[in-house]
Structure 1
C-alpha cells in the first residue's frame, strides 16, 4: 500500500438491533498515519481503497495488535483492549477528506476535531446530519429511540432507572474526549466535534457547538455556534450569540481574532480581526450599517459591517442617543477608510 491515508482509527461502538451504528468511540484516532502502519493494517482488514468503515472481530483485533507491536506500541495496546470488548468493533479508514458516507466516518471526523488534530473549518463535513441518528443518550449509553421504551421497562423490572440525559444527534464531548488544560463548568453544553484549546474556560452558560471552538487561552461565557473559531485571549460575554455557519455548506465562516471581547447578549455575523470589542447587547451582522468615526468621534463614512470584517483594533458600539451603530478604531479611521477604498 503506497498511497497515504488521510486518517485511520480503531473504534468500539453501539449498534441498534438491526445492526445500524448509533455511535463510535475512537480512543486514539490518527491523522496522516505512517506508511508502515498502513501497510501492516490494510491486508488484515481487507481494505482496498476509498473511505470505508470495516467491522472487525476480536481475533482480527488481536492480529492487528500483534502486527503493530513494534510499529506503533500505543495503537497495539489499544487493540489488545478492544479485543476484550463485548461491543462491536470497527476500523474506519479515510483515504481522503471527502464528503461523509457512514456514521463511523462522521464520528471519526468529530473525534479529530475534539482531539485537536484538526481545527474547525479544516474538515469536509458535507452530509454529516443524515448520518448522525437521533439517539437517546442515557445512563446506559446510546439507545435507539425505537428501542427506548422497552429498555426503560427492562430497567424498571430489574429495580433500576434508565436515565435519559438528552435526545440529540450529537453526544457531549466529554463522554468521548477530555482535552488537557481546560475548565468545563457544564460539560453537557459542549458537543463532540468542538475544539477546546489549551487554557480555555467554559463557564456554566457557555455553549460550544461541533466544528467550532477556541484556540485558547480564553473565557467562554456565551454561545460559540458551528463554524465559529475564537482566537487566543478572547472573552465571549455571558449570553453572547455568534451567528456562524457550517464551512462545509459553502456559507460564510466566522472567525474571531485574538484578544477580542464580545459583550453580554452581543452577537456577530462577520469575522473579527484581532483586539476587536463588540459592546454588550449589540448585534453586528454583515449588512449592518456602521458609522465609521475618526479618533475625534467625527463621522468619516457609513459602511456595511462586512467591509470591516477581519480589521484589527475596532470598537463596535451603539450611539445611546441616535441608536446608530458606530465603529471607532485605535488607528486613524481615515487610514482605514483609505484602505477600504483601495480594497474596493
Structure 2
C-alpha cells in the first residue's frame, strides 16, 4: 500500500432506505495528506490501497481520533465530532486522481474545488454524472425521489411542510462550504464544485457551475459554465466584470484576463486576454469570423476568433449595418495601461 494519497476526507452524508448514497458532506477534505496520517488510519479502516469509500462506525471514529491526536489535531477533533453523528459516516481515500467510481468519491472531488484545494480542470472528473443521483433538495436535506411523496405525506400528518428547493444532481455550494472573502447574492445559483476565489462577488443573476469559477477579485453577473475559469491576471489591479455567458467544455479552460468586460447577454467561447471588451449581446465562438479593423476603421484582415484568443486590449463589437463581427484595438485600455506603467 502506498503511503501517499491524492486526497482523503472523513465525512457524513445521506443514504436512501436501500443504503445508497445521496450526498456526502466533508468539512475538512485533505489534498495530499501526510504519510503519517494515512498510516495511522489505514489499519483502523482496513484500507489496503486504491480509491475507496469506506463506511466506518462511531467507535472507529473515536479510535482514529485518538490515533491522530499527535499527528493532525484538526482531523482528530473532526473525528471526535463525527463520532456523535446519527448519520452514516464514510472515509474516502483516493490513492490516485483517476476516473470516479462512487458517489462519495464524486462529492469529495466537488468539495476539493469549492474548498479551493484544486482549480477547475485540476483533477479527473470522468464519470461524475452517473454517480450523482438526481435527488430532491429540501429543508430536511436530500431525499430520494422515489421516497419523496411518502416523506411529504409524513410531514403534513404532523402539521409540517416539506419544502422542495430543487430537484437536481448538484446541491448549492453554500450548503457545504462558504469560501472566505466572497459575496453571493443568490446562493442557489452557485453549485457545489464551483471555485469562487477571494474577492469575488456573484450578483443575483450570476451563475457558476461545477468545475468552473473565478480566481478573483471579480464581479459575476452572468453565467460561468463548466470548464470556465476567470483568472485575475498579473499586471493591473482590479478584476473582471462579466454580465454575459462564459462557455467551456471538454479539456479547454476558457480563461478571462484582468480588467475585462463582457456585456449583458454577451458570451465567449475563447480565452480573453487582459482588458478585453465584448459588447452587449455579442456571442463569440472559436469559429466566429472576425473582421480586424485599423484605427481608421478600414478592413485589415478576416480571421477566426480563435486566432485572437488571449490577446490583450481588444474591443469586440458587431457592425450595426451589416452584422459583421469586428475587432479593434481597445485604445482606452492601452492608454490606461501605459499611464499606469509610467506612473509606476
SS of the residue 2:107 aligns to: helix
Matching of residue 300 in structure 1 with residue 304 in structure 2: no
Give CA-to-partner distance per residue, 1:135-171, whole Å, 9 cap, x none. Answer: 0000100000000000011111111111000000000
SS of the residue 2:22 aligns to: strand
Alpha-carbon separation, structure 1, partners of 2:329 and 2:211: 31
Alpha-carbon separation, structure 2, partners of 1:43 and 1:258: 49
Alpha-carbon separation, structure 2, partners of 1:158 and 1:14: 23
SS of the residue 1:104 aligns to: helix
Which residue matches 1:235? 241
Which residue matches 2:341? none
| Unaligned ranges ≥5, structure 2 | 233-238, 332-344
Which residue matches 1:199? 199
What are the within-5 Å matches in structure 2 for residues 105-144 of structure 1? 105-144=105-144
User: In the comparison of the two structures, how many residue pairs are matched?
Assistant: 325
1:271: how far off?
1.3
SS of the residue 1:290 aligns to: strand
Which residue matches 2:261? 261
Give CA-to-partner distance per residue, 1:55-104, whole Å, 9 cap, x none. Answer: 00000000010000010000000000000000000000000111000000
| TM-score with structure 2 setting the length | 0.93
Do 1:231 and 1:259's aligned partners in 2 also have CA atoms closer than 8 Å? no
Give CA-to-partner distance per residue, 1:233-292, whole Å, 9 cap, x none. Answer: 00001xx12221143xxxx33221222110000011111122211111101011111001
Do 2:3 and 2:38's aligned partners in 1 also have CA atoms closer than 8 Å? no
SS of the residue 1:116 aligns to: coil
SS of the residue 1:78 aligns to: helix
| Unaligned ranges ≥5, structure 1 | 332-344
Which residue matches 2:248? 244
Which residue matches 1:95? 95
Larger mean Cα displacement after TM superposition, 319-328 or 190-199: 319-328
1:330: how far off?
4.5
Do 2:2 and 2:49's aligned partners in 1 also have CA atoms closer than 8 Å? no
SS of the residue 1:64 aligns to: helix
Alpha-carbon separation, structure 2, partners of 1:165 and 1:147: 16
Alpha carbons of structure 1 residues 325 and 178: separation in structure 2 relative to 1, 3 Å: same
Alpha-carbon separation, structure 1, partners of 2:318 and 2:54: 56
SS of the residue 1:306 aligns to: helix
Do 1:268 and 1:283's aligned partners in 2 also have CA atoms closer than 8 Å? yes
Do 1:62 and 1:79's aligned partners in 2 also have CA atoms closer than 8 Å? yes
- CA RMSD of superposed structures (Å): 1.1
